[in-house]
Chain A
Amino acid sequence: MTPPLVAVDRLKVYFPLRSLALFGGRKRVARAVDDVTLSIAPGETVGLVGESGSGKTTLGRAILRRVPVTAGTIRFRDADITKLEGEELRQLRRHMQLVFQDPYGSLNPRMRVKDIVAEPLLVHGVARDPAEAAPRVRKLLDLVGLPTDAAERLPHAFSGGQRQRIGIARALALEPEFIVADEPVSALDVSIRAQVVNLLQDLQAQLGLSYLFISHDLSVVRHISHRIAIMYGGKLVEIGPSKEVHARPIHPYAESLLEAVVVPDPVRERARARVPLAGETPSPIDPPPGCRFASRCPLAQNRCRMDEPPLEEKKPGHFAACWVR
């Protein structure tokens, strides 16, 4: 087996809340990411799925060392990067990049496209001045399928899908090996999504990139990912090969999540007697003991409310954290 490119071990990211400590209240913490272990191989795409507040975005940012880590380790190419600082951290950033969800908010409206894409090159000293960066910028724009004359224009001249291409070109400028794509197509129209998803796949094939593809859209995740990881309430509840998780989910939450997806097929939609999962995602603040999903789980037993289920290999390569299954 090839060694993983990224390996996260028992990672915890807790956010302290401003509490009423002044009045003798207890200090409270939000457990955004709680004891997550996960690895990503070179050239692999891991799809990270979960609902709002599940901790998926925080996990992505923590791997990139953009939020403080409370406990656990993050390894990149077998080096511990959990505590890197200063120049070392800056060097690390060249290898790991982020593609944002919002193609409108993430590009400076006053900068021309060529300057947006050249900025990482200049910041990291790969190019000394814009003129030196220019040939590389042209190549990058070509790589993501933008016309050459895009370089001189401002972001507002572009549609959402094209802006996302600009964001991808910027992320690729430093030739990273690993990209965290946080809901990269959620803000795009349906007919445009496919273009960007295909582009990300082409780039992976050409450049051997690894992706952590964060999304709440299960259909896109299934399409693009080799493995799917499902988070619930800060916990990783299931991870396994994409098709396997889709066809035979183990965790009851994974099952409900897949069941909740509506498909564009009226015959199938009408035929199914939908009994949606009741309740809502629990608060990450002071979670109850036991399984985070127990309060909504149709299969929950006493044990589920007492002890936290560990993530176990239930089938070869397919892990889930559930006492019942």
Chain B
Amino acid sequence: MTPPVPTPWLEVDDLWIEFVTRRGIVPAVRGVSFAIGPGESLGLVGESGSGKTVIAQTIMGLLQSPGRVKRGAVRWQGKPLRFGDRFPRDDVRGHDISIVFQDALAALNPLLPVGTQITEVLTRRFSLSPKTAKERAVELLALVGIPEPRERVRNYPHEFSGGMRQRAMIAIALACEPKLLIADEPTTALDVTIQAQIIYLLRDLQQRLGLSLLFITHDLGVIAALCDRVAVCYSGKIVETGPAEQIFARPAHPYTQGLLQSSAARDDGRDRLLGIDGTPPDLLALPPGCAFAPRCFRADAACNAAVPPLAGVGVDHAAACIHPLVGAEAVR
């Protein structure tokens, strides 16, 4: 069940992000809005080029030139966050919101012991004494399931395995005691059994600490395991959003349905996998109407005429489609 959302913590409001390149201005994110409430987990699904990672970077204030916010707002507990100058400092990012990246090896500092990378956050954020900070670092490593944390705290990132590094990343992200954790494909580079461990850990942390979660991935299975709500991105827009159960059981947008059908995990013994024909459009040459229309089996002239807005198709469930799948069509 989806809890009601009284006052959202994070609000992304009509966010437009573009990249200035030699070939032209790339509209990477085109009017994205969503909100995350206390303790809620939202899964942002999309394939490469859908804009999902850029959204996460912008929320964290990590958007780099040539990327820039064209318009829109990101608010934390009602208060607008700044973008612009490189890595704007405020008391939200790295305090109330933190992030876990896909590539832990690249995100960790190779020259510092893992423990130091945690105590750095603690001393800066809470002005803890070095001794207390170290104790807390050991606790955090234990919290994320690293065995022998008292010894491991002295290890360097290269002395950790892939799964352990990702746990260490999560420990660092949790050090500032965030209310919202953004996880950008944190399990994509991991083996299946290790991925299962990390999913289990995140779910456990979410329950124990009451964390909100913004989970970014291309893997619908991971979303199903972790998220209350789903927002599906395609070419810089959210094309469908709603409660996870609804979206997985009765997708309304043909793209969502295609994604679900492409997944071999729901193989029902048929000879061929149902993929989606074609490829995502070039963001520099977007079609005038729905960006998915060229690949869509339901598209007609109306789809190519204007960009369809997100419109309600059910309780708390919206799709940006002129011909949403309804009733018996909306099967996965």
Give the B-binding residues of A (Cβ under 8 A): 51-52, 159-162, 189-195, 197-198, 201, 216-220, 222-223, 256-257, 259-270, 274-278, 280-281
Further 9 A-B residue pairs, CB within 8 A, beyond A198-B272, A262-B225, A274-B196: A160-B48, A189-B218, A190-B262, A194-B262, A198-B273, A222-B264, A256-B193, A260-B193, A267-B248
CB of B14 closer than 8 Å to a CB of A: no
B194 at the interface (CB under 8 A from A): yes
Partner pick for B245 among A193, A198, A222, A266, CB 8 A cutoff: A266
Chain A residues, Cβ within 8 Å of B161? 280
Knowing A194-B273, A219-B267, A269-B225 touch, does A162 contact B259 (C-beta < 8 A)? no
Report how many residues on chain B are interfacial, defined by Cβ distance under 8 Å: 47
Q: Mark B170-196, 1 if CB is under 8 A from A, else 0.
A: 000000000000000000000111111
- In the complex, the answer to whether A190 meets B47 with C-beta atoms within 8 Å is yes
Q: Identify B275's interface contact among A195, A264, A274, CB under 8 A.
A: A195
CB<8 Å pairs between A and B, sample of 11: A192-B276, A193-B273, A197-B273, A216-B192, A219-B265, A261-B192, A262-B196, A262-B225, A264-B260, A266-B245, A274-B225
Inter-chain contacts of A263 with B (CB < 8 A) = 221, 224, 265-266
Contact (Cβ within 8 A) B276 A191: yes
In the complex formed, the residue of B with least CB distance to A197 is B273
Is A216 within 8 A of B191, CB to CB? yes
Return the chain A residue nearest B274 by Cβ.
Answer: A194
The answer to whether B245 touches A159 (Cβ under 8 A) is no
Query: A262-B199, A263-B265 in contact; A51/B191 too (CB < 8 A)?
Result: yes
Q: Is the CB of B275 within 8 A of A198?
A: yes
Distance from A30 Cβ to chain B, minimum over Cβ atoms (Å): 16
> Across the interface, which residues of A come within 8 angstroms of B164, CB to CB?
280
Q: For the complex, what is the distance from the CA of A277 to the CA of B163, rounded to whole Å? A: 13
Which residue, B191, B197, B258, has most C-beta atoms of chain A within 10 A? B191
In the complex formed, the residue of A with least CB distance to B163 is: A280
Kindly list chain B residues whose C-beta atoms are within 8 Å of the C-beta of A218. Answer: 192
Q: Would you call A280 and B194 a contact (CB within 8 A)?
A: yes
Assuming the contacts A265-B224, A269-B224, A276-B200, asked whether A260 and B195 have C-beta atoms less than 8 A apart, the reply is yes
Closest Cβ neighbor of B277 among chain A residues? A195
Q: Which of B265-311 contact A (CB under 8 A)?
A: 265-267, 271-277, 279-280
Complex: how many Å from CA A230 to CA B274? 26
Tell me if B266 and A264 are in contact (CB < 8 A).
Answer: yes
> Interface on chain A toward B: helix, strand, loop, or mixed SS?
helix
The answer to whether B196 touches A264 (Cβ under 8 A) is no
Smallest CB gap from A218: residue in B = B192
Judge whether B279 and A161 touch: CB under 8 Å: yes
The reply to whether the CB of B244 lies closer than 8 angstroms to some CB of chain A is yes
Q: Distance (Å) between the CB of B286 and the closest chain A CB?
A: 16
Report Cα–Cα, A59/B280, bound state, in Å.
Answer: 35
Asked, given contacts A162-B279, A219-B264, whether A266 binds B218 with beta carbons under 8 Å apart, the answer is no
Q: Please report which residues of chain B, range 205-252, place their CB below 8 angstroms from some CB of chain A when the two chains form the complex.
A: 218-225, 227, 244-245, 248-249
Contact indicator A191/B196 (Cβ below 8 Å)? no
Which single residue of chain A is at the shortest CB-CB distance from B248? A266
**Assembled-state Cα–Cα distance A264/B261 (Å):** 10
A159 — which chain B residues lie within 8 A by C-beta? Answer: 279-280
Whether A51 contacts B267 by the Cβ 8 Å rule is no
B64 at the interface (CB under 8 A from A): no
Which A residues lie within 8 Å of B194 (CB)?
51, 280
Whether A257 contacts B193 by the Cβ 8 Å rule is: yes
Cβ-neighbour of A52 out of B191, B248, B262 (below 8 A):
B191
A76 to B288, CA, bound (A): 55
Q: How distant is the Cα of A273 from the Cα of B262 in the complex, in angstroms?
A: 26
Interfacial chain B residues near A216, Cβ < 8 Å: 191-192
C-alpha gap A52/B193 in the complex (Å): 11
* B306-332 Cβ-contact flags toward A at 8 Å (1 or 0): 000000000000000000000000000
> Taking the complex as formed, is B77 at the interface, i.e. its CB lies under 8 A from any CB of chain A?
no
- Residue from the list A259, A270, A276 in contact with B197, Cβ < 8 A: A276
Residue in chain A with minimal CB distance to B273: A194
In contact, B193 and A277 (Cβ under 8 angstroms): yes
Report whether B224 and A266 are in contact in the complex, using a CB–CB cutoff of 8 Å.
yes
Q: In the bound complex, do residue A192 and residue B224 qualify as a contact, i.e. CB atoms below 8 Å apart?
A: no
Closest B residue by C-beta to A246:
B267
Q: Which residues of B contact A277 (CB under 8 A)?
A: 193, 196-197
- Complex interface: chain A residues within 8 A of B245 (CB): 266-267
Let me know if B193 and A276 touch, CB within 8 A: yes
Q: Which chain B residue lies CB-closest to A187?
A: B48
Q: Is B263 an interface residue (CB 8 A)?
A: yes
- Asked if residues A274 and B191 are in contact (CB atoms below 8 Å), the reply is no
How far is A260 from B187 in the complex, measured between Cα atoms in Å?
13
On whether the beta carbons of A191 and B195 are closer than 8 Å, the reply is no
In the complex formed, the residue of B with least CB distance to A272 is: B225
Task: Give the chain B neighbours of A262 by CB distance below 8 A.
Answer: 195-196, 199, 219, 221-222, 224-225, 265
Give the CA-CA distance A218 to B221 in the complex, in Å. 13
Q: Give Cα A280–Cα B193 distance, bound, in whole angstroms.
A: 8
A256 to B191 alpha-carbon distance, docked (Å):
12
A198 CB contacts on chain B under 8 angstroms: 272-273, 275
Q: A194, A275, A277: which has the most chain B beta carbons within 10 Å?
A: A194
- The residue on B at minimum CB distance from A224 is B264
B228 nearest CB neighbor, chain A only: A266
Residues of B within 8 A of A160 (CB): 48
Closest A-chain residue to B222, C-beta based? A262
Within 142-172 of B, Cβ neighbours of A (below 8 Å) are at 161-164
- A24 shortest CB reach to chain B, Å: 25
Residue with the greatest number of chain A CB neighbours at <10 A, chosen from B48, B193, B223, B272: B193
B270 closest partner in A (C-beta): A223
B295 to chain A, nearest CB (A): 8
The answer to whether B196 and A260 touch across the interface, beta carbons within 8 angstroms, is yes
Q: Are A217 and B264 in contact (CB under 8 A)?
A: yes
CB distance from A82 to the nearest CB of B (A): 31
Minimum CB–CB distance from B240 to chain A (whole Å) comes to 14
Take A264-B260, A265-B266 as given contacts and tell me if A191 and B275 are in contact as well, using a CB distance cutoff of 8 Å: yes
